[in-house]
Structure 1
Amino acid sequence: MQAYYPELIAPVRRIGRREFDFARHIVVMGIVNRTPNSGLDPNRSMAVTQAVGRAEQALREGAEWIDVGGRAFRSDQPPLSPAEEIDRVVPVIRGIRELSDAVISVDTHLPEVAEASYKAGADVINDTHGLRSPGMAGLIAETGMSVIITHSLGGPGEKVVRPTYEDVVSEVAAFLRQRVDYAVGSGIEPEKIIIDPGHDLNKNTEHSNALSRRLGEITAMGYPTLVACSNKHFIRESLGAERGSEELRIGTIAANTMCVYQGARIVRVHDVAGNVAAMKAAELVLGLAES
């Protein structure tokens, strides 16, 4: 298998206060969850000071981007109103913005939360519902924010029993093309769009491994591709690894490296230090950066 170098749409991008050349650089995004029930994040916290401290640590370890979340994707959770989600994420976004010019995204599918996060200093909406919530695309176009369009079948909090696909990679790619067309038609500029195939979001281990193995079919769309493999079930099941184990940490790095080899240019991670080192090595091996 040869490395794949996608021809990117607007590879050099100004996102918030930072500029990235996605043709030459792999960006590490650190995860900060202010949720009580994220099954993937050993550092989740409901305390604002601890969440901001986690972001500060991630920045020290080399993250250039922080993704703030206040709602788990999982379906087995109590209802959470937009106001409650805003109360979770906005103080953290404000705290991070006070200490850094790093890119800040908010992991939300609700336009009310997106608007409040933008006013607090967020630069990007990370939408795991693929811009299907009424008003979200229009808000992003109006504010000029960037957006991560992610594939999922049901969206956050929605139960999808035994998800099935004829060809998961082709179907995910078709979904992303359709949602990108919708975004552009709604006034979002192409240079503001990033895509994410949504590993493990309404997908089983076989589906997520296929996405990793054939990611070049997704990155070929030309939009910078983010992968969110960190600590996910498909890695745990593939390795027989426990949550929080060193084996899972290393498996995450391997999955991210595999995806970068096929054109991914943003990795969303819990273990920032390990992935920063791995992505620097990957840049050199791929010839994206010079030693």
Structure 2
Amino acid sequence: MSAPHTPWPLARHYRTPVTTIRGRTFAWGTRTYIMGIINVTPDSFSGDGIGENPQAAAALATRFQAEGADIIDLGAESSRPGAEELHPAEELRRLLPCLRAVRAATDLPLSVDTYHPTVAEAALANGADCINDIWGLRRDPDMAAIVARAGAHLVAMHNQRGRPVHDVATDISAGFEATLTIAAQAHIPPERIILDPGFGFGWTPEQNLEILRRLPELWKYQLPLLIGTSRKSTIGYILDAPVNERLEGTAATVAFGIAAGADIVRVHDVRAMVRVARVTDAIARANWRHQPPQ
């Protein structure tokens, strides 16, 4: 006889339990959503940059959709430590042809990874639905107004680079509070905001792992949480493995992050991480729908 069902103890509460992006429903807390990464850069840390190739970008987007991605994130500037900052005009030259090609190839919501307001404005005018700002609106005061005016969604990341570390969760909370203040002043509704604690951005490997352990401390904002651990150097440090041998390590961080409350995982390997998320959801969220083996 099976034991009675016991609800998972890490129940989340959200200000807005359901969000709609480009006609697709994101019911927070019911399952994990997958954000597939398309780097239209020549110098991506992960080795997957496709460069300025709209056809390759469109093909990758089509593949990600078939593999189960829920949203696609395009970036034209590498955010790896020490990467050269692009002029917005160069970023747009790389981005827009690929963005347009991806928009024509898929009906998935599209996010653009940029912290330049002029790039964000052009991206939103060319089919993007969301801006993924690695500085959480704190780099340029014009970014919030552009997101608000477009009625776009926002992934706001806390970036610890250049800031002293006192306590991981406290520092992230301070960053989120600054971001949410800016967003409120610009009249960006909370239901359009997703928070990212910034794994890999200004932290030691040990601190990055602490971020995952302490994700439940960030539930207090009652907003969806995104984590981006895929192929990052902390995994390479633990496994002593190059970037192309970090799939299992990424899977471990994704599974733990989901169990700790992540709602979206930003990943390079969509097919594998869809499967990781499905099994982890079955455990952590008691969300299991039987599907015969393929």
Please report the TM-score for the alignment, with normalisation by the length of structure 2. 0.91
Q: What SS does the aligned partner of 2:262 have?
A: coil
- Identical counterparts, % of pairs: 33
Q: 2:151 aligns with which of 144, 147, 152?
A: 144
Q: What SS does the aligned partner of 2:207 have?
A: helix
Gaps of 5+ in 2: 1-7, 290-294
Alignment-derived partner of residue 44 in structure 2? 38
- 1:286 equivalenced with 2:292 (yes/no): no
Alignment-derived partner of residue 182 in structure 1? 182
Alignment-derived partner of residue 157 in structure 1? none
For each residue in 1:85-116, what CA deviation from the matched residue of structure 2 results, as whole angstroms up to 9, or x when unmatched?
11111222211111221010000001100011
Give the number of the structure whose alpha-carbon radius of gyration is greater: 2
C-alpha contact (below 8 Å) 2:137/2:144 kept by paired residues: yes
Q: What SS does the aligned partner of 1:220 have?
A: helix
The one-letter amino acid paired with 2:158 is H
Kindly tell me the number of residue pairs found equivalent between the two proteins.
281
For each residue in 1:143-163, what CA deviation from the matched residue of structure 2 results, as whole angstroms up to 9, or x when unmatched?
100001101134xxxxx4xx6
The one-letter amino acid paired with 2:141 is P
C-alpha contact (below 8 Å) 1:6/1:220 kept by paired residues: no
Distance across 2 between alignment mates of 1:129 and 1:200: 13
Alignment-derived partner of residue 210 in structure 1? 210
- 1:116 equivalenced with 2:122 (yes/no): yes
C-alpha contact (below 8 Å) 2:91/2:119 kept by paired residues: yes
Q: What is the correspondence of 1:1-291 to structure 2 with a 5 Å cutoff?
A: 4-132=10-138, 133-154=140-161, 160=162, 164-245=164-245, 248-291=246-289
For each residue in 1:235-281, what CA deviation from the matched residue of structure 2 results, as whole angstroms up to 9, or x when unmatched?
11122222201xx1011011011111011100000000010011111
C-alpha contact (below 8 Å) 1:17/1:101 kept by paired residues: no
C-alpha contact (below 8 Å) 2:230/2:268 kept by paired residues: yes
Q: How far apart are 1:4 and its partner, in Å?
A: 2.0
Distance across 1 between alignment mates of 2:85 and 2:130: 24
The one-letter amino acid paired with 2:13 is E
Distance 1:288 1:195, change over 3 A: farther
Distance across 1 between alignment mates of 2:266 and 2:9: 21
Distance across 2 between alignment mates of 1:41 and 1:288: 35
C-alpha contact (below 8 Å) 2:12/2:219 kept by paired residues: yes
Alignment-derived partner of residue 3 in structure 2? none
Please report the TM-score for the alignment, with normalisation by the length of structure 1. 0.92
Gaps of 5+ in 1: 155-159
Distance across 2 between alignment mates of 1:41 and 1:83: 24
Which stretch of structure 1 is more off in the superposition, 213-222 or 128-137? 213-222
Q: How far apart are 1:79 and its partner, in Å?
A: 4.2
Q: What SS does the aligned partner of 2:247 have?
A: helix
For each residue in 1:30-83, what CA deviation from the matched residue of structure 2 results, as whole angstroms up to 9, or x when unmatched?
000011111124353332211222222111111111000000113533442111
Q: How far apart are 1:169 and its partner, in Å?
A: 1.6
The one-letter amino acid paired with 1:151 is H
For each residue in 1:103-142, what CA deviation from the matched residue of structure 2 results, as whole angstroms up to 9, or x when unmatched?
1000000110001100110000000011021210011111
Distance 1:54 1:47, change over 3 A: same
Distance across 2 between alignment mates of 1:78 and 1:22: 36
C-alpha contact (below 8 Å) 1:105/1:122 kept by paired residues: yes
